[in-house]
Amino acid sequence: MEIRYAAPGRINLIGEHTDYNDGYALPIALPQRTTVTYTPDDRDALTVRSDREDGVVTVALHTAPGEITGWAAYVAGVVWALRAAGHPVHGGTMTITSEVEMGSGVASSAALECAVLGALTEATGVRMGPVDLARIAQRAENDYVGAPTGLMDQLASLCGEPGHALLIDFRELTVRPVAFDPDAAGIALLLINSRAPHRHAGGEYAERRRSCERAAAELGVASLRDVQDGGVAVLDRVSDPVAARRARHILTDNNRVLEVVAALKDRDFATVGRLWTASQASMRDDFEITTEHIDLIADTAVEAGALGARMTGGGFGGCVIALVNAARADAVADAVRMAVRTAGHPEPAFIRTRAGAGAQRLG
């Protein structure tokens, strides 16, 4: 028996670093996917190959955190997390192919985790809803790989729908599809890959998370979501000015997610664009997760006529997304290309993209 299972990368339209604060986010699944071809057998190990890497990695089914590092740690982490949750896992051989660019902030790790998870659970007949699956993938990433990330990437990869964004409420753990089809309105969704590798992403990410937790603790609440309704004035009670600014980004970006959802109902992409640009400023000034390079791309896109632009993902490099009237898309791309070249940065890559399907069995 051979199982082929695919899971996509994602871009987040708005709501950054809100997931681990029990807030809101609005990702879409990308058309680009990672595919796992799995032939189960009775051995007590998985033999894994990837089209991106040389060599073969053997993952013992009783693997434990620390044993395997590098790309195969995501595979081993899923094996470990599934078993830790009490589910059976078979051995076998696995081949991984991927169209999802690694290290560019489009959740290549979640795509890999969710594809492996899908293949392994199809083989054993274990059935779980997306939230439980996402939690297992997250556990692989948090406790095996060691990255303290939230649940957004996995939920986006699992639940994606063509023509729709996903309004995720991380406190209620609900995922609601929201129509998102800029193409139909003559608007291009541009994905601009800065080609700048993430810098210090691991440590900086964890540090942002700690700041948010510090602010919540000082306000006497379990998460920043619990003060959402009171507005940012409550943050005057946070003594550390850095933690207060970090928390202000979370509260204001949560609001912007809901405002974008309202604007999408009216297909008001001009308002969506303005909210993206405001989110970019908040990530730059309050959360401080952008870089000069990323800011240059986003600012230039807007100056050249984009309706709005913002960095997407965890930060410190990666991709910028922009909404642009289709007729101006080439001019915006040219302006960005020129500005980054003049500043001495690498040539960016531009893709006009759209919302794709979530994880699924292919055969």
Q: Which active-site residues does the annotation give?
A: 153
Side chain identity at 54, as an amino acid letter?
D
Strand partners, 167: 176
**Residues in contact with ligand GLA, shown as a per-residue x/- string from 296 to 335 under the rule CB under 6 A:** -----------------xx---------------------
Q: Which is nearer to ligand GLA, 149 or 255 (CB)?
A: 149
Residues 129-168 that bind ligand GLA (CB under 6 A): 149-150, 152-153
**Residues in contact with ligand GLA, shown as a per-residue x/- string from 103 to 122 under the rule CB under 6 A:** ----x---------------
Smallest gap from residue 147 Cβ to ligand GLA (A): 7
Query: What phi and psi values does residue 48 have, to the nearest 5 degrees?
Result: -125, 135
Token digits of residue 280: 């970019």
Extended beta strands in the chain, E state = 3-12, 24-25, 27-41, 45-50, 56-60, 91-98, 164-169, 174-179, 187-193, 308-312, 319-325, 349-353, 360-361
**CA-CA distance, 112 to 177, in Å (whole number)?**
23
The number of angstroms, rounded, from the C-alpha of 254 to the middle of its chain's C-alpha atoms is: 16
Q: Which is nearer to ligand GLA, 17 or 256 (CB)?
A: 17
Q: Which is nearer to ligand GLA, 73 or 332 (CB)?
A: 73
Smallest gap from residue 115 Cβ to ligand GLA (A): 16
Q: Which is nearer to ligand GLA, 19 or 122 (CB)?
A: 19
Query: Residues 8, 19, 160, 282: which binds ligand GLA (CB under 6 A)?
Result: 19
Burial letters 240-271, b for 16+ CB under 10 A, else e: eeebbbbbbbbbbbbbbbbbbbebbeeeebeb
Smallest gap from residue 105 Cβ to ligand GLA (A): 7
DSSP three-state, residue 272: helix
Interface residue list for ligand GLA (CB under 6 A): 12, 16-17, 19-20, 107, 149-150, 152-153, 313-314
